[in-house]
């Protein structure tokens, strides 16, 4: 073999080696690219699922009718859609949320705190806090039942300068809420919750004002109207005994004529206070207009309602406006377990009994559809 042939053969071998190395490099790059594309596609699918769950939760939140409904939807939605091991509200008891009815939330779902408990540790410095409890981070609000949690997300609600509360999201996965994670998604969720909660609080407050008698602080006729044509079971539950006391002042005209209308207004306020003092806070007390009031007593039988009515009458008699003692006439009607009257019918029956009491001299109680009377 000549030197030229040997040189060509060596050159050809070098080309083949370089080509092989290049093919190996391309194959490796292709493998890495496939792996990268697979990871990107998986991330896209995960994000698509995340945003789908987010959209579903936002729809539930935005469709909430009141703060209690909103909180319930959040608890249910966050736990089920995002597989969280803990969801809890910490609300400022002295703020606007503290004025709302949240009775459907258990003690494990809702804890009342003071706004200073949010501000003192500086939680209101930013919207989102991520803690890995497995690395020694602690949070004072957690309880012994939370000891299994490994990571925690805190979302501060409301304006950071005036926070209304905090939502805690807990997980047994220590990497679920790692401090080095992006918080864009959580920031968005916190903003949606904050704005929706504030809107429902405003709507709840306006509704409460519209359905509250400005003089006495009781419910007004606007509160009563939506319920008036319902069956009692639709309002108070199937099989619930409901008693109704209907009463008005016997001597309002005398008070207005002799002491003035301001004193008459004071008399109406005193009557409502006397009634509220002897019944449960959740029992609907409604000023129907003028000097007439309705008190509905779910779960209260005729005898118990009669005793409460007589106590109200007696308490009113002990109230003096100048030298005039308050005097009210009262009617009582009852719907037993076997009945399911329309609300308006029960109220009308008590109203008619009240007029009988007034015709018999006033300052007494009469029971609807009864021949015997009970006076005081």
Residue 177 belongs to a domain:
yes
Same domain, 239 and 168: no
pLDDT band at residue 375 under the 50/70/90 scheme: very low
Of 210, 227, 248, which residue sits at a domain end? 210
What is the span of the domain harbouring residue 68? 61-210
Residue 90 belongs to a domain:
yes
Among 42-46, 333-337, 339-343, whose mean pLDDT is lowest? 42-46
Same domain, 355 and 271: yes
Are 249 and 326 in contact by the 8 Å Cβ rule? The answer is: yes
Nearest by Cα to 95 from 163, 167, 182: 163
Same domain, 70 and 197: yes
Same domain, 168 and 247: no
* Residue 4 pLDDT: 57
* Residue 373 pLDDT: 39
Return phi, psi of residue 86, to 5°: -150, 135
Which residues neighbour 79 within 8 Å (Cβ) at sequence distance 6 or greater?
A: 87
Q: What is the mean pLDDT of residues 290-312?
A: 95
Other C-beta atoms lying within 10 Å of the C-beta of residue 16 = 10
Nearest by Cα to 100 from 207, 236, 190, 194: 207
Same domain, 366 and 228: yes
Decide which of 305 and 201 is more confident: 305
Residue 44 belongs to a domain:
no
Q: What is the mean pLDDT of residues 75-90?
A: 88
pLDDT band at residue 154 under the 50/70/90 scheme: very high
pLDDT band at residue 185 under the 50/70/90 scheme: confident
User: DSSP assignment of 165-210, as one string?
Assistant: EEEEEEES-TTTT-TTS--HHHHHHHHHHHHHHHHHHHHHHHHHHH
pLDDT band at residue 370 under the 50/70/90 scheme: very low
pLDDT band at residue 66 under the 50/70/90 scheme: confident
Instruction: Examine the pLDDT at 220 and tell me if it is beyond 60.
Output: yes
Of 183, 210, 237, which residue sits at a domain end? 210
Same domain, 183 and 284: no
Q: How far apart are CA 102 and CA 87, in angstroms?
A: 16
Q: What is the mean pLDDT of residues 138-149?
A: 89
User: What is the domain-level CATH number for residue 106?
Assistant: 3.30.450.40
Q: What is the mean pLDDT of residues 61-85?
A: 82
Q: What is the mean pLDDT of residues 310-318?
A: 93
HSE (side-chain half, CA atoms, 13 Å) at 301: 3
* Residue 372 pLDDT: 40
Decide which of 177 and 24 is more confident: 177
* Residue 376 pLDDT: 44
Mean pLDDT, the chain, integer = 84
Which residues neighbour 173 within 8 Å (Cβ) at sequence distance 6 or greater?
A: 150, 151
Measured CA distances, 277 to 100, 300, 328, 354 (Å): 21, 16, 16, 21
Residue 25 belongs to a domain:
no
pLDDT band at residue 8 under the 50/70/90 scheme: low
Are 186 and 236 in contact by the 8 Å Cβ rule? The answer is: no
User: What is the domain-level CATH number for residue 285?
Assistant: 3.30.70.270
Residue 33 belongs to a domain:
no
pLDDT band at residue 309 under the 50/70/90 scheme: very high
* Residue 135 pLDDT: 73
Same domain, 198 and 296: no
Decide which of 346 and 28 is more confident: 346
User: DSSP assignment of 61-109, as one string?
Assistant: HHT-SSHHHHHHHHHHHHHHHHT-SEEEEEEETTSSGGGS--TTS-TTT
Instruction: Examine the pLDDT at 152 and tell me if it is beyond 90.
Output: yes
Instruction: Examine the pLDDT at 45 and tell me if it is beyond 60.
Output: no
Instruction: Examine the pLDDT at 349 and tell me if it is beyond 60.
Output: yes
Residue 341 belongs to a domain:
yes
pLDDT band at residue 276 under the 50/70/90 scheme: very high
Q: What is the mean pLDDT of residues 209-216?
A: 90
Instruction: Examine the pLDDT at 48 and tell me if it is beyond 60.
Output: no
Same domain, 129 and 224: no
Instruction: Examine the pLDDT at 117 and tell me if it is beyond 50.
Output: yes
Residue 253 belongs to a domain:
yes
Chain-centre distance of CA 14, in angstroms? 78
Nearest by Cα to 129 from 84, 174, 178, 93: 178
Pairing of strands 86-92, 110-113: parallel
Same domain, 180 and 255: no
Are 93 and 59 in contact by the 8 Å Cβ rule? The answer is: no
Instruction: Examine the pLDDT at 74 and tell me if it is beyond 90.
Output: no
* Residue 299 pLDDT: 93
Residue 19 belongs to a domain:
no
Same domain, 277 and 366: yes
Chain-centre distance of CA 274, in angstroms? 30
Of 173, 189, 210, which residue sits at a domain end? 210
Same domain, 237 and 322: yes
* Residue 374 pLDDT: 43
Instruction: Examine the pLDDT at 88 and tell me if it is beyond 90.
Output: yes
**What are 252-267's pLDDT values in tens digits?**
888 888 888 899 999 9
The total of structural domains in the chain comes to 2
Same domain, 178 and 315: no
């Amino acid at each position: 073999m000549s030197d030229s042939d040997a040189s060509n053969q060596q050159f050809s071998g070098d080309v083949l080696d370089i080509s092989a190395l290049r093919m190996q490099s391309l194959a490796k790059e292709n493998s890495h690219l496939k792996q990268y594309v697979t990871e990107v596609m998986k991330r896209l699918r995960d994000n698509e699922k995340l945003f789908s769950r987010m959209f579903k939760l936002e729809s539930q939140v935005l469709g909430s009718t009141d703060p209690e409904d909103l909180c319930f939807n959040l608890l249910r939605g966050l736990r089920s859609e995002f597989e969280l091991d803990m969801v809890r509200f910490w609300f400022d008891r002295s703020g606007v949320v503290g004025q709302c009815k949240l009775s459907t939330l258990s003690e494990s779902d809702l804890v009342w705190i003071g706004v200073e408990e949010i501000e003192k540790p500086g939680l209101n410095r930013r919207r989102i806090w991520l803690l890995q409890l497995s690395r020694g981070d602690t949070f004072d609000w957690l309880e012994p039942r939370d000891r299994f949690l490994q990571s925690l997300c805190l979302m501060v609600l409301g304006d950071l300068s005036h926070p209304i509360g905090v939502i805690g999201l807990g997980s047994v996965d220590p990497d679920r809420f790692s401090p080095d994670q992006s918080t864009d998604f959580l920031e968005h969720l916190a903003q949606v919750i904050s704005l929706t909660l504030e809107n429902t609080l405003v709507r709840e407050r306006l509704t409460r004002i519209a359905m509250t008698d400005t003089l006495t602080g009781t419910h007004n006729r606007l509160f009563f109207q939506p319920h008036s044509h319902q069956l009692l079971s639709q309002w108070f539950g199937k099989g619930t005994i409901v008693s109704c006391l209907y009463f008005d002042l016997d001597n309002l005209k005398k008070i207005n004529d002799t002491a003035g209308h301001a004193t008459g207004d004071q008399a109406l306020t005193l009557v409502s206070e006397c009634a509220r003092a002897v019944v449960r806070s959740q029992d609907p007390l409604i000023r129907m207009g003028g000097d007439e009031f309705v008190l509905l007593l779910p779960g209260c039988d005729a005898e118990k309602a009669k005793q409460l009515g007589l106590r109200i009458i007696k308490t009113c008699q002990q109230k003096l406006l100048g030298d005039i003692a308050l005097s009210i006439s009262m009617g009582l009607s009852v719907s037993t377990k076997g009945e399911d009257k329309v609300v308006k019918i029960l109220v009308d029956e008590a109203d008619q009994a009240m007029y009988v009491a007034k015709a018999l001299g006033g300052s007494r109680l009469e029971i609807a559809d009864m021949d015997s009377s009970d006076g005081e």
